[in-house]
């Protein structure tokens, strides 16, 4: 009886596996985006410290990058609410 159950549930398990892989890829992409934005912020702070940009330029660019970071993090929070079973 267990063999028949396994055979019947195989397509469903395949769908769950695919969904889990897509979810993992999306989470990895979000993590990479966060790293990219934080690297840009670090560069921006360094440019301010070395005098390559003015305080006004810094504030404008910093607010843009921080808004982008907030957007990424909120998108990540929305996507993780629907976690798949077995994660």
Length of the chain: 87
pLDDT digits (tens, 9 = 90+) for 12-65: 889 999 999 999 998 999 889 999 999 999 999 999 999 999 999 999 999 999
Which pair of structure tokens corresponds to residue 6? Answer: 């396994």
CB 37, CB 69: distance < 8 Å: yes
User: What pTM did the predictor assign?
Assistant: 0.66
């Amino acid at each position: 009886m267990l063999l028949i159950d396994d055979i019947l549930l195989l397509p469903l398990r395949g769908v769950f596996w695919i969904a889990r892989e897509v979810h993992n890829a999306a989470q990895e992409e979000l993590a990479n985006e966060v790293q990219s934005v934080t690297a840009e912020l670090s560069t921006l702070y360094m440019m301010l410290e070395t005098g390559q940009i003015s305080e006004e330029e810094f504030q404008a660019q910093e607010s843009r990058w921080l808004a982008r970071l907030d957007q990424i993090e909120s998108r990540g929070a929305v996507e993780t609410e629907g976690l798949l079973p077995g994660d």
